[in-house]
Amino acid sequence: MSLLKKYEKGEYEYASYSRLRSWIITIAMYVLSAAIYTIGYVTTGSNRNLLTIVAILGVLPASKSLIAAIMNSRIKVLNEAVHSKIEDNIGSLKGLYNLYLTSYEINFYLAHCIITKDSLIAFTTDKDFDNKRFDEHIKKHMKIEGIQDILIKVFDNEDAYINRLTQLSKSDQSEQTNEKLVNLLKNISV
């Protein structure tokens, strides 16, 4: 993983990249605010100056960045062995990795998902994953976006998911992707 290459949400490397990048930005913003405050204090001998105000205002975006860093740290990363198995069986299907979807009541982790024209097939490593609430959450957002008639299936068994991937990659659906659903998942995930 390189900080110089920008990864898109849904790529396997995105979770690690996003986590590292957000922490670096957060630390840099706090250091900058502290430096501005220190310069103002050293040059005037008091904290009653314009640089103190600038430093305090600089803490606001730093704090917002801290929240983003904490949220990015909550994203789990699919282990490399499972990632390799998925890549070996995915064929030409379009997949998204490490999606962390949030709602008011509960959060949902999808280690990987495949989107075809009429289905969302996902794999989770979260043992507390609530399928019923996930269906409700996704269907609510799909209704808002005007997406209808999508089959949603979430697997928590790795072998069953790999078998389903193999079946889908050999079917005629492997070339067709519901781009509206792909964009929706990217937009509602961290």
pLDDT digits (tens, 9 = 90+) for 116-147: 888 999 999 999 999 999 999 999 999 999 99
What's the mean pLDDT when you consider all of the chain? Answer: 92
32-61 pLDDT, tens per residue? 999 999 999 999 999 999 999 999 999 999
The SS3 call for residue 107 is strand
> CB under 8 Å to 8, separation ≥6 — which residues?
14
Query: Which pLDDT belongs to residue 173?
Result: 64
Q: What are phi and psi of 37, to 5 degrees?
A: -60, -45
Q: pTM for this one?
A: 0.86
Q: Contact at 8 Å (CB) between 89 and 166?
A: yes
153-175 pLDDT, tens per residue? 999 999 999 999 999 888 866 56
The C-alpha atoms of residue 26 and residue 63 are separated, in whole angstroms, by 8
Q: 150-185 burial, b if ≥16 CB within 10 A, otherwise e?
A: beebbbeeeeebbebbeebeeeebbeebbeebbebb
Could you count the other beta carbons within 10 Å of the beta carbon of residue 149? 8
DSSP code, position 127: T
User: Is residue 79's pLDDT more than 90?
Assistant: yes
Q: Any bridge partners for residue 108, and if so which?
A: 101
Domain ranges of the chain: 14-73, 80-188
The C-alpha atoms of residue 45 and residue 157 are separated, in whole angstroms, by 64
The C-alpha atoms of residue 98 and residue 17 are separated, in whole angstroms, by 12
